[in-house]
């Protein structure tokens, strides 16, 4: 698969974003489709980021998500690699102006740097994230960007935000000379085939295009390779706790 370079996901022209801020922080990009204004996360947003993630994944095990202490650590250690997307002109459900003054936090993309071994890919999300609340898990010498999560308010989905966050992550890889992006891709479509296919068989079918998965197929369309199944990656009984390794190689990176 190739990246969709002909239709940029982000507006980053200095003439467009210069001087723009959200909650006092510089805007680093504007979503070409969503119109969201993106800024690097900062520690003081930790409580709002925690609430956004919990609202985005209401059935998830909170142990698989960040809490506010961990988010403060991540913002301190690798804020340049993590992004929050704001609706600067929010509307209420009836079309009226939102009661909350100022920009509305609606999306975030989090990640960290790590030394990932593609020859030994088996891991869980807890192997990647920090092992104490004050430990973000970020390795300043890490050669890979590990995507630890994307969260979007339910009412803002299907507006191209996922593609915009991946474009932001890819730009981080270009700017820092990282080898690429790795992550555990959730595979919600597997729930419908769990009784007839192994996780690896399902991923193979999605890879070939025989089956469509709302998450894995989207990632393949955005230049990611679909790798092996990752057992016990997260707590998700619907798919027996499986995820799929996904990898994007930075074409500009020096090996």
Q: What is the DSSP string of 23-80?
A: TTEE--EEETTT-PEEEE--GGGHHHHHHHHHHH-TTS-GGGS--HHHHHHHHHHHGG
**Predicted local confidence at residue 231, as pLDDT:** 97
Q: Is residue 208 part of a domain?
A: yes
Q: Is residue 107 part of a domain?
A: yes
CATH of the domain at 28: 3.40.630.30
Residues spanned by the domain of 134: 10-249
Q: Is residue 3 part of a domain?
A: no
Total domains in the chain come to: 1
Distance CA 206, CA 228 (A): 12
Q: Is residue 254 part of a domain?
A: no
Task: Encode pLDDT of 226-243 as tens digits.
Answer: 999 999 999 999 999 999
Task: Encode pLDDT of 52-73 as tens digits.
Answer: 999 988 878 888 889 999 999 9
Question: Could you tell me where the beta strands, DSSP code E, fall in the chain?
Answer: 10-11, 21-22, 25-26, 29-31, 37-40, 83-87, 104-114, 144-152, 180-185, 225-230, 243-249
What the block records as the tokens of 105 is 């936090």
Q: Is residue 255 part of a domain?
A: no
**Predicted local confidence at residue 134, as pLDDT:** 84
What the block records as the tokens of 64 is 């698989």
Task: Give Cα separations from 116 to 150, 225, 246 (angstroms).
Answer: 20, 15, 12
Q: Is residue 70 part of a domain?
A: yes
Give me the residues of the chain with pLDDT under 50, please: 1-5, 93-98
**Predicted local confidence at residue 92, as pLDDT:** 60
**Predicted local confidence at residue 96, as pLDDT:** 40
Question: Could you tell me where the beta strands, DSSP code E, fall in 153-237?
Answer: 180-185, 225-230
Tokens 């690699």 identify what position? 81
Q: Is residue 80 part of a domain?
A: yes
Relative to beta strand 21-22, strand 104-114 is unpaired
Q: Is residue 85 part of a domain?
A: yes
């Amino acid at each position: 698969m190739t990246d969709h370079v002909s239709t940029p996901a982000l507006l980053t022209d200095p003439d467009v974003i210069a001087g723009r801020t959200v909650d006092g922080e510089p805007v680093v990009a504007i979503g070409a489709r969503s119109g969201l204004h993106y800024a690097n996360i900062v520690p003081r947003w930790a409580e709002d980021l925690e609430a956004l993630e919990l609202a985005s994944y209401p059935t998830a095990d909170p142990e698989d998500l960040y809490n506010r202490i961990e988010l403060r650590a991540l913002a301190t250690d690798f804020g340049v690699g993590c992004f929050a997307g704001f609706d600067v002109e929010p509307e209420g459900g009836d079309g009226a102006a939102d009661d909350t003054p100022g920009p509305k936090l609606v999306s975030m993309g989090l990640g960290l740097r790590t030394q990932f071994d593609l020859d030994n890919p088996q891991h869980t999300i807890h192997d990647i994230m920090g092992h104490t609340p004050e430990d973000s898990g970020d390795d300043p010498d890490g050669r890979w960007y590990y995507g630890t999560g994307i969260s979007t308010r339910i009412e803002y989905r299907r507006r191209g935000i996922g593609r915009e966050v991946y474009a932001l992550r890819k730009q981080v890889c270009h700017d820092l000379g990282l080898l690429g992006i790795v992550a555990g891709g959730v595979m919600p479509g597997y729930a419908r085939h769990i009784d007839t296919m192994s996780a690896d068989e399902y991923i193979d079918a999605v890879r070939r295009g025989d089956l469509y998965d709302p998450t894995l197929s989207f990632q393949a369309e955005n230049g990611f390779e679909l790798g092996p199944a990752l057992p016990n990656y997260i707590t998700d009984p619907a798919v027996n706790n499986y995820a799929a390794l996904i990898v994007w190689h930075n074409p500009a990176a020096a090996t």
